[in-house]
Structure 1
Amino acid sequence: MSLTKITDKAGLHRHLEAAIQLEHATIPPYLNALYSIRPGANTEAFHILRAVAVEEMLHLTLAANILNAVGGTPDLTVPGFVPLYPAYLPDGETDFQVDCQAFSRAAIETFLKIERPAEGATPGVDTIHKGRKRAHHNGHKRHGTAVRARHVPGHEEEHFYSIGEFYQAIEEGLERLHAEMGDALFSGDPARQIGPEYYYSAGGGLMAVTDLASAKAAIRLISEQGEGVTDNIFDYEGEIAHYYRFEQLLLGRYYQKGDARGRPTGREVAVDWDAVFPIKANARLSDFPEGSALRQGAEDFNRAYGDFLALLTRAFQGEPAMFVEAVGGMFQLKELYYQIMRQPLGDGTHAAPTYEISHG
């Protein structure tokens, strides 16, 4: 998906479609790490990963609510929506790719890059505007991303160093178009909104988006719940941001109020990096013998995951009650994860879901 500065409603729709794709792209890596933990081990890490995965569903849904509010149509079943890992994220980083791999230090280090604060970039340097690298994306080529740099005249594609900066561009686009169009910008059917009655989570709630104020509130929640505010480990609701939740696992200690970044002083976090299924990173169906029970299990998983995305799409396209079933379905996949991940491949690794999704 090619992104340029938001100057019209179509451009806003493209950014919000990319936002939905971006939020989803984090979910398979987080779930692979989650379910690669052997049952009963690493309970603290398990709860952190599960909570973050739930909140990524919240972020995805908020992005869908914004898109619906401005007259777009969320669709998680379009070809290429699910990345073929390893993959670049849709918002613009190319200094790293995201793998689907087992719970490990390397996995958590990647998750820190996903959730990194905008302040990690060079002050005064905004987006980049230059050609993109190529990256596979579930059966066809998709654009990768490029490293952030100053504006290059004559080149218009936008890329971002952090998710927070990407959402800042969306917010600025919303403000720009609202100044031109007024409340006519929010022309979507309110009946398509997924409200708080359809969602539960310990960290932050779902909100309907009907105007500029609620759209900006949704963006604020997404950005701060992920990377945190610049000078604080905790978001505006007092919840620890995703970046710092993951950092606790590497530092071996919990953050508490008043701590400096990188210096948690809370109780120890017990992590056993070896108590995991050694799943194959970025597995493919071609890694499993045709006709084998393992190949059939991986294909069954892909169909079930495709059904989950189809349910979400129905929820976002006018059947909001389907959202409860869809979120429940995401975690009902747990047994399918375990059935696959318990199977050794004979090379020292275990099998893993492949996320090669097709929609008939």
Structure 2
Amino acid sequence: MIRLQLSPITTVQQAQAMLQTAINVEFGTLPPYLYAQLTILPGTNAPAAARLRSITHQEMIHLCLAANILNALGGSPKLQPPKYPGPLPGDIGHDGKVLTLHILPFGKPAMQQGMNIEIPVDPIEFPQLELAASPTKAVTIGQFYDALDAYLKTLPATAWQANRNQIDDKQFFPGQLFAVNNYADAHKAIQVIVSEGEGASTSPLDFSNELAHFYRFEEIFRNQVLTASDSPQGFSWGAPLGVDYAKVFPAIADPQVHDFSKEPAAARMAQDACNKAYSAMVDALNLALNGDAAQLGIAVRKMFDLRMAAIEALHAPLNDKHKVAGPAFIYKKI
């Protein structure tokens, strides 16, 4: 799971700041995860693509749930698009070192990066699985949320503002998203976020008996299905997943820092369309998370526009005819 620096929480304002950090982290994972997903060639790598789609969908749900908690505490969520390469908000890291994230096309490096982001404090070692020693100097987002949950539990009922700028499953992600109006709702939301990211301490499964994000990335990285077995851990690495890393668009890494001014007009136009859709999506989401419910539909349409623009970009060769560029996820105020 994502690693964040942990500070003692003694005030509602500090809890609001921690929730804003969590929102920024959840949002910051989306461009790297989406880039990996979008750069898979159509009609190939179906199991990997399905796993990446489920992860990105759940990260969006986590973002909304964290925003719901912040709104219920009287705060005002604000998406802050990060720059890549660069650290995610909260100084994610391993062994006390900040993790620099990149936007990478589908491949083993992108899957390893996903594992680095989502790693639990104590990854479960299954038969055949080899992992580096567990980090000791940083804290996981699970521990981060545990500390937040412990503080929220102490708040009186009057600290919660029911029905304030909430997004629920009637608006977004049917059956998966819910409003936060009190501590019980906030506790449930935190359990969902932590469980889906890192699983349980003794199981790779989340609360709905699905593999947590870290282990889904690991399945793709290893090209093996994590299967229930009679091993002491309850699971073993089994049949091939069916990953073919050759079936990928020849997309460049880190398109945010690429100089598109010298590229063909079609590539420049595609990037402009990607940035315009991404910026409009961010603006609409910011309004939606702060009570303008009508903006949620606009945000969803802009997500579709971004996907269409990304497809155009991935089919527009650069001067190096063997390379293309997916969306750079550059925010420009409209």
TM-score by length of 1: 0.80
Q: 1:120 to 1:263 in 2, by over 3 A?
A: closer
Does residue 83 of the first structure (1) align with residue 73 of the second (2)?
A: no
| AA aligned opposite 2:25 | L
Distance 1:164 1:7 in 2: 19
Q: Give the corresponding residue for 2:302.
A: 329
Does residue 41 of the first structure (1) align with residue 41 of the second (2)?
A: no
- Percent identical among aligned pairs is 32
Does residue 169 of the first structure (1) align with residue 147 of the second (2)?
A: yes
Does residue 183 of the first structure (1) align with residue 157 of the second (2)?
A: yes
Q: Give the corresponding residue for 1:271.
A: 243
Moved over 6 A (4+): none
Q: Is contact 1:114-1:163 (8 Å) kept?
A: no
Q: Give the corresponding residue for 2:313.
A: 340
Q: CA RMSD in A?
A: 2.5
Aligned partner (choices 119, 123, 134) of residue 122 of structure 2: 119
Greater share of residues in strand: 2
Using the TM superposition, name which of 216-225 and 165-174 deviates more: 165-174
Local SS of the residue matching 1:254: strand
Q: Is contact 1:91-1:162 (8 Å) kept?
A: no
Distance 1:2 1:49 in 2: 27
Q: Is contact 1:195-1:208 (8 Å) kept?
A: yes
| AA aligned opposite 1:26 | T
Q: Is contact 1:74-1:316 (8 Å) kept?
A: yes
Deviation at 1:163, TM superposition (A): 2.3
Does residue 200 of the first structure (1) align with residue 186 of the second (2)?
A: no
Aligned partner (choices 294, 300, 306) of residue 279 of structure 2: 306
Q: Which runs of 5+ in 1 are unaligned?
A: 122-146, 150-159
Q: 1:331 to 1:56 in 2, by over 3 A?
A: farther
Q: 1:342 to 1:293 in 2, by over 3 A?
A: closer
Local SS of the residue matching 2:35: helix
| TM-superposition CA deviations, 1:293-320 (whole Å, max 9, x none) | 3223212211211111111112111123
Aligned partner (choices 184, 200, 203) of residue 213 of structure 1: 184
Q: Give the corresponding residue for 1:59.
A: 62
Using the TM superposition, name which of 16-25 and 87-96 deviates more: 87-96
Q: Which runs of 5+ in 2 are unaligned?
A: 125-134
| TM-superposition CA deviations, 1:60-79 (whole Å, max 9, x none) | 00010000000001122xxx
Q: Is contact 1:36-1:276 (8 Å) kept?
A: yes
| AA aligned opposite 1:11 | Q
Local SS of the residue matching 1:256: strand
Distance 2:248 2:26 in 1: 25
Q: 1:262 to 1:117 in 2, by over 3 A?
A: farther
Deviation at 1:286, TM superposition (A): 4.9
| TM-superposition CA deviations, 1:113-165 (whole Å, max 9, x none) | 111112259xxxxxxxxxxxxxxxxxxxxxxxxx863xxxxxxxxxx432222
Distance 1:324 1:148 in 2: 43
Q: Is contact 1:302-1:354 (8 Å) kept?
A: yes
Distance 1:2 1:166 in 2: 8
Q: 1:343 to 1:262 in 2, by over 3 A?
A: farther
Q: Give the corresponding residue for 2:93.
A: 94
Q: Is contact 2:227-2:235 (8 Å) kept?
A: no
Q: Is contact 1:279-1:349 (8 Å) kept?
A: yes
Distance 2:91 2:59 in 1: 18
Q: 1:196-275 maps to which residues of 2 (within 5 A)?
A: 196-200=169-173, 205-258=176-229, 260=233, 263-265=236-238, 267-275=239-247
Q: Is contact 2:16-2:70 (8 Å) kept?
A: yes
Aligned partner (choices 3, 8, 11) of residue 11 of structure 2: 8
| TM-superposition CA deviations, 1:253-276 (whole Å, max 9, x none) | 2233457477233x4310110111
